[in-house]
Amino acid sequence: MTGKAEDGFRFASVVEVTEELKQEWRARRQPDDDFQQQLTNLERGQSIDQQALRQARQAIAELESEIASLQADLIFYRNIMAPSQSTKGLQVSSLVVQPQRVGETYDFKLVLIQMGGNDTYISGLASVNVIGFQDEEKQAIPLRDLSGNIDNLGVKFRFRYFQDVEGELRLPEGFKPLEIQVIAEAEGAKSVKVERIFDWETLTEK
C-alpha cells in the first residue's frame, strides 16, 4: 500500500510539475508571440509606407517631367514670337530620332520654325539626307528612299509659326550612319536657305 501511495504521489507530483512547466512556457511564449505580431504589423506598415513613398516619388517625377516639358514649350514659343536679331527667319529647330525595338527602324520628328515675322506664311522645300558608309563607301541617302512617309525628294513646307514632319525610316542592311543633313530653302519674298547637320550618335543615344 505504501509503495502504491508513494508511486501515486510521485505520479501526481510529476503531473503538477509538468503542468507548471507548461504554464511557465506559455507565459514566456506569450511575449514572444506578441513581439512577433508587433514585428509583423511593423513590417506590413513599412511595406505600405514604402509603397506610398514609391507612388509619391513617381508622381513627383511625372510632375517634374511635365513642368520641364511646359518650360521647353514656353521657351520654344517665346523664341518664335520674340527672337533675337541674329536668329530671325526660317530655322531648322530640331530633329529627334528614336530607335524602334525591331531592326534598323527609327521614328523621326523634324521641326521647322519661322522666328519673328509671323504675320505671313513661309513656304518652300526641305531636303533631308542620311549620310554614312555602305561597304566602306560614303553615301548620302535621301529620306524619301528610307521612309514610306515621304514621297518627294524634299519635304514641302508652308507655315506661319512652325511645322512638324514625322514618320519612320529604315536603314539599309550594313549601312553605318554618321549624320543627318537638313537643308531648308524658302521661296518667294522670304527666300532663304538654311542648313543644319545632326550627329547620328548624339541623336540616337539614350
Query: Among 114, 81, 128, 127, which Cα is nearest to 188's?
Result: 114
Residue 150: name the closest of 125, 173, 183, 121 by CA: 125
pLDDT at position 5 is 46
Amino acid of residue 78: R
pLDDT, residue 85, reads 59
Res 127 pLDDT > 50 = yes
Identify the pLDDT of residue 41. 75
Read off the pLDDT of each residue in 25-33 and give the average, rounded to a whole number: 61
Lowest mean pLDDT among 32-36, 39-43, 145-149: 32-36
More confident residue, 16 or 145: 145
Q: Could you tell me if 173 and 164 are in contact, meaning their C-beta atoms sit under 8 angstroms apart?
A: no
Half-sphere exposure (Cβ direction) of 198: Cα atoms closer than 13 Å: 22
pLDDT of the residue at 198? 95
Looking at the DSSP assignment, which residues form a beta bridge with residue 182? 128, 196
pLDDT tens track for 80-123: 666 665 567 888 989 999 998 777 899 999 999 888 767 789 99
Q: What per-residue confidence (pLDDT) applies to 60?
A: 79
Q: What is the mean pLDDT of residues 68-76?
A: 72
- pLDDT, position 1: 42
Q: Are 94 and 180 in contact (CB under 8 A)?
A: no
Q: Is the Cα torsion angle 20, 24, 27, 33 positive or negative in sign?
A: negative
Is the pLDDT reported for residue 15 higher than 50?
A: yes
Using CA atoms, how far apart are residues 204 and 50, in angstroms rounded to an integer? 35
Chain segment 133-189, per-residue pLDDT in tens:
998 899 999 999 999 888 888 889 999 888 999 999 999 988 999 999 999 999 988
> How far from the centroid of its chain's Cα atoms is residue 134's Cα?
32
Q: Has this prediction a pTM greater than 0.75?
A: no
Which listed CATH number (2.40.30.10, 2.60.40.2420, 2.60.40.1730, 3.30.2350.10) goes with 84-204?
A: 2.60.40.2420
- Residue linked to cell 518652300: 124
Where along the chain do its domains lie? Answer: 1-82, 84-204
- Can you give the pLDDT at residue 115? 82
Q: Among 45-59, 119-133, 144-158, name the most confident range.
A: 119-133
Confidence of residue 9 (pLDDT cuts 50, 70, 90): very low
Q: What is the pLDDT of residue 206?
A: 62
Q: Which residue has the cell 507548471?
A: 20
